Amino acid sequence: ELKVEQNPLFLSMQEGKNYTIYCNYSTTSDRLYWYRQDPGKSLESLFVLLSNGAVKQEGRLMASLDTKARLSTLHITAAVHDLSATYFCAAWFASKLTFGTGTRLQVTL
Amino acid sequence: SAVISQKPSRDICQRGTSLTIQCQVDSQVTMMFWYRQQPGQSLTLIATANQGSEATYESGFVIDKFPISRPNLTFSTLTVSNMSPEDSSIYLCSVCRVADTEAFFGQGTRLTVV
């Protein structure tokens, strides 16, 4: 059974500083997803990472994948208040997605 | 991208009753899934909806409690049966198109059981 762990569970960020969320998964997976969820909303797709060494960037967010280490990271550059939300990673295995625990980000001035 | 319409968006139901949630996609998709998200928690897969056959349920979920239909490639329903307050959650439909690897989510159904 695939297990997906995220850390930290909660991250209080200061505006302008850089932070990283880590996503570890227990079994070989060929796809890793990152989603954002605002309170009371559904999931918004951020990134899909398909191969070892894949790196994708959108604005202040950059995601990377190391399949050998079974690790994906979501790096936040110069945090701004708009990034406050819960972020989930999810790994694809056995024809389904398994989600991590989620990381709640809160950006403060 | 796929446009997913999920209905209802929210409902308040009496315990012991059932609610059917609908998921309609604007294009044919290969895979459809139903998730539950309990308050403050992550997403848990309930089942994979299979077109024209019985759904594939995850451990801890059974057909009698969560019957699922998928009559064609663009539509699925999830019924939450004999509801109790513990069923209060957000239920989400998700679709995948294997060709482009994306996994999209519906707006979710916020269910409160009283």
Say whether residue A45 is in contact with chain B using an 8 A CB cutoff. Answer: yes
Looking at beta carbons, which residues of chain A come within 8 Å of B39?
Answer: none
Q: Closest partner residue to A88 among B42, B48, B102, by Cβ? A: B42
Q: Which contacts qualify for B45-54: CB closer than 8 Å, 24 or more apart?
A: B45/A96, B45/A97, B45/A98, B46/B78, B46/B91, B48/A95, B48/A96, B49/B76, B49/B78
Question: What residues form DSSP beta bridges with B32?
Answer: B49, B95
Question: What residues form DSSP beta bridges with A44?
Answer: A36
pLDDT of B4 over the 70 cut = yes
Say whether residue A39 is in contact with chain B using an 8 A CB cutoff. Answer: no
Question: DSSP readout, chain A?
Answer: ---EEEE-SEEEEETT--EEEEEEESS--SEEEEEEE-TT--EEEEEEE-STT-EEEETTEEEEEETTTTEEEEEE-S--GGG-EEEEEEEEETTEEEE---EEEEEE-
pLDDT of A23 over the 80 cut = yes
CA distance A26 to A65: 14
Model confidence pLDDT, tens digit, residues B7-29: 999 999 999 999 999 999 998 88
Q: Closest partner residue to B102 among A45, A96, A99, by Cβ? A: A45
Searching chain A, which residue's CA lies closest to the CA of residue B92?
A42
Quote the minimal CA–CA distance from B15 to chain A in Å: 23
Looking at beta carbons, which residues of chain A come within 8 Å of B36?
Answer: none
Q: Closest partner residue to B103 among A41, A42, A97, by Cβ? A: A97
The confidence score (pLDDT) of residue A29 equals 84
Torsion (CA) A89, B3, B6, B42 in degrees, nearest 10: 0
pLDDT of B71 over the 80 cut = yes
Model confidence pLDDT, tens digit, residues A80-93: 999 999 999 999 99
What number of C-beta contacts closer than 8 Å exist between A and B? Answer: 44
- Binned at pLDDT 50, 70 and 90, residue B98 comes out as low
Quote the minimal CA–CA distance from B43 to chain A in Å: 6
